[in-house]
Structure 1
Amino acid sequence: MNNAILAGILWHLVGAASAACFYAPFKRVRHWSWETMWSVGGLMSWLVLPWAVSAVLLPDFWGYFQQFSAAQLLPVFLFGAMWGIGNVNYGLTMRYLGMSMGIGIAIGITLVVGTLMTPLLQGRFMVLFSSAGGRMTLLGVLIALIGVIIVSRAGFLKERALGINAEEFNLKKGLVLAVLCGIFSAGMSFAMDAAKPMHEAAAAAGINPLYVALPSYVVIMGGGALVNLAWCFVRLAVKPSLSLKADFSLAKPLLGANIAFAMLGGLMWYLQFFFYAWGHANIPAQYDFVSWMLHMSLYVLCGGIVGLLMKEWHAVGRRPVRVLSVGCLVIILAANVVGMGMAG
């Protein structure tokens, strides 16, 4: 495995770790509705940071975006909106299935769809079977899926040991939402592929290869912001128990703390894709589709490790922890197999 591929995997690991930790600041928010908290954090991660980072990187911010036609930008934006729909469905999946089953189904589906649909749509899928490196890479994807399933099984054992149930368990509704979440969340992978002309233009403008994907986030995350913010604002407007005005009428110290924690959560959420771009830049072009597999599987891995460090598995017994450990090791094996496949 060469140094560039190893660096790519490690940067994807850093991004996944940020994704696994981003909700911790949100847990410090008090006396706010989830919709208000999510909107404030989202404004930071989907709008403020992508625009600010792009403004710093691009020599001519408006000139860069004006060089693309609406026909070029629209698919990028729509795939971003598709990913935004997956975000909304992810929360609902957790509500109706619980964390373990929800993560297992949703992440498993989005890992497969987001990873394999890109080369399939490009007509490159069968070509992967014609080389040893391609076959090993596909094997790594399969191993990663198995690892996600094992970690999800550990989560199920944990929930059963702790007596945790989904808020409103509904298997039929939850399964439909999990499938939709898995499919729509893959929009980020499709958006990154559709944004390749934007990446090439950024490189032509002299931007460091590690950063060339970041300006495209203005469009991608703009699509995601439209869906997520619309969902939150509609709920705030129509649900009697929710009130944006009441949320911002708290005492100034608490209000300031809530805004700060929500913005910190938004920053950490953005950083997952900041480092995703770094990882993606180090993956060989013919295997760029595996960036999504690395991100999603390492996200599950980091989520398990963070849970252990925060002692969330302290009172569940040995068996769930053993199963979690096996799942984490399988995901690590998958990353190594994919790395060797790309190097081959």
Structure 2
Amino acid sequence: MNNAIFAGILWHLVGAASAACFYAPYKKVRGWSWETMWSVGGIMSWIILPALVSFILLPDFWGYYRSFTSSQLLPIFLFGAMWGVGNINYGLTMRYLGMSMGIGIAIGITLVVGTLMTPLLQGRFMALFSSTGGRLTLSGVMVALVGVAIVTRAGMMKERALGLDAQAFNLHKGLLLAAMCGFFSAGMAFAMHAAKPMHVAAAALDVNPLYVALPSYVVIMAGGALVNLAYCFIRLAGKSSLSLKADLSLTKPLLISNLLFALLGGTMWYLQFFFYAWGHACIPSHYDFISWMLHMSFYVLCGGIVGLVLKEWKGVGRRPVGVLSLGCIVIIIAANIVGLGMAS
């Protein structure tokens, strides 16, 4: 495995670790509705940071975006909106299936769809079977899916041991939402592929290869922001004026604290895709579809590790922790298989 591929896998791991930890600051927010908290963090991660980073990177910020036609930008924006729909369905999936089953099904579907749909649409999928590297890479994807399934099983064992249940368990509704979440969340992978002309244009402006994908986030995240913020504002509008005033009538120190924690959560959320861009830049172009598989499988891996560090598995017994550890090991093996495939 050459150094560039190893660096790409490492950066995807760093991004996934940020994704696994981003909600921790939100848990420190007190007295705000979920919609207010999510909107504040989202404005930071979907609008402010993508625009600020791009403004720093690009010699002519407005000129860069004006150089593209609406027909070039619209698919990127719509795929971003598609990914935003997946984000909303994610929370509903947890409600009806519980954390472990919901995450396992949703992540499993988005891992497969986001990874394999691109080569399928490009007509390159069957060609992967004709080379040793292609076969190894596809094998790594399947092994990662097995690892996700094992970690999901461990999570279900944990929930059972701790007596945790979904808020309103509904298998049929939950499975439908999980499938929708998995499919729509893959919009980010599709958006990154559609944004390749933007990456090329950024490279032509002497933007560092590690950063060429970042200016496209302004368009991708705008699509996701439109869906998420519209959902939050509609829900806020449906609440009583008293509940809305309550969010803003907290003491000044608590308001500042909530604002800082929400902005920190939004920053950590953005950083997952900041480092995703770094990892994506290091992956060989004919295997760039693998970036999504690495991100999602590492997300599950890091989520398990973070849970252990925060002692969320305390008191569940040795067997669930052992199954979790096995799943994490399988995901690590999958990443190595993919790395060997790309290096072949």
Cα separation, 2, equivalents of 1:124 and 1:243: 53
Q: Which residue of 2 aligns with 1:83?
A: 83
Q: What is aligned with 1:184? A: 184
What is the DSSP-based 3-state SS (H/G/I as helix, E as strand, rest coil) of the residue aligned with 2:24? helix
Structure 1 contact 80–221 (Cα < 8 Å) conserved: yes
SS in 2 for 1:200: helix
**Aligned-residue CA RMSD (Å):** 0.8
Which residue identity does 1:130 align to in structure 2?
Answer: S
Report the Cα distance in structure 2 between the residues aligned to 1:30 and 1:315, rounded to whole angstroms. 28
Q: Which amino acid aligns with 1:265?
A: G
Q: Is the 8 A contact 1:83 1:224 kept in 2?
A: yes
Partners of 1:266 and 1:256 in 2: CA distance: 15
Counterpart in the other structure of 1:265: 265
The question of whether the paired residues in 2 share the 8 Å contact of 1:235 and 1:242 is answered with no
Greater Cα shift, 232-241 or 294-303: 232-241
Q: How much has 1:17 moved relative to structure 2?
A: 0.2
The one-letter code matched in structure 2 to 1:190 is F
Shift of 1:240: 3.5
Structure 2 unaligned regions, length at least 5: none
Which residue is equivalent to 2:234? Answer: 234
Superposed, which structure 2 residues align to 1:98-117 within 5 Å?
A: 98-117=98-117
How far the C-alpha of 1:123 sits from its partner, in A, is: 1.0
Determine the structure 1 residue equivalent to 2:302.
302
Q: What is the CA–CA distance in structure 1 between the aligned matches of 2:296 and 2:96, rounded to whole Å?
A: 21
**1:87 offset after TM fit, Å?**
0.1
Hey, what does 1:56 align to over in structure 2? 56
Judge conservation of contact 1:58–1:64 (CA < 8 Å) in 2: yes
User: Quick one: structure 1 residues 135 and 270, their matched pair in 2 at CA, closer, same or farther if it must change by over 3 Å?
Assistant: same
Shift of 1:193: 0.1
In the alignment, residue 71 of structure 2 is paired with which amino acid?
A: A
**Deviating more after overlay: 189-198 vs 241-250:** 241-250
242 and 44 in structure 1: CA distance in 2 versus 1, 3 angstrom threshold: farther
Summarize the Cα distance change of 1:242–1:38 in structure 2 as closer, same or farther, 3 Å threshold.
farther
Structure 2 Cα separation of the partners of residues 304 and 319 of structure 1: 15
Structure-to-structure mapping, 1:1-344, within 5 angstroms: 1-240=1-240, 243-344=243-344
**1:248, CA displacement in angstroms?**
1.2
The TM-score, its normalising length taken from structure 1, stands at: 0.99
Asked if the contact 1:47–1:218 (Cα under 8 Å) also holds between the matched residues in 2, the reply is yes
SS at match of 1:207: coil
Runs (5+) with no aligned partner, structure 1: none
Deviation at 1:242, TM superposition (A): 7.7
SS at match of 1:78: helix
Secondary structure of the structure 1 residue equivalent to 2:84: helix
Q: Separation in 2 of the partners of 1:229 and 1:315?
A: 39
- Residues of 2 paired with 1:228 and 1:169: CA distance? 24
SS of equivalent to 1:23: coil
Once the 2 structures are TM-superposed, how far is the Cα of residue 241 of structure 1 from its aligned partner?
8.5
> TM-score, structure 2 length as denominator?
0.99
1 CA distance for matches of 2:43 and 2:225?
8
The one-letter code of the counterpart of 2:213 is: A
Q: Distance in 2 between matches of 1:260 and 1:174?
A: 34
CA distance in structure 2 between the aligned counterparts of 1:9 and 1:247, rounded to whole angstroms: 41
Q: Aligned-pair distance for 1:210?
A: 0.2
**What is the deviation of 1:176?**
0.4
CA displacement at 1:35 relative to structure 2: 0.7
- Choose 192-201 or 234-243, whichever is displaced more: 234-243
DSSP 3-state at the match of 1:137 = helix
Between stretches 59-68 and 237-246, larger displacement belongs to 237-246
Measure the CA separation in 2 of the matches of 1:212 and 1:246: 43
Q: Matched residues, percent identical?
A: 78
Q: 1:267-292: CA deviations, max 9, x gaps?
A: 00000000000000000000000000
* Matching residue's letter, 2:252: K
Task: Look up the equivalent residue of 2:247 and give its one-letter code.
Answer: D
In 2, the alpha carbon distance for the partners of 1:166 and 1:29 equals 23
CA distance in 1: counterparts of 2:56 and 2:116, whole angstroms: 34
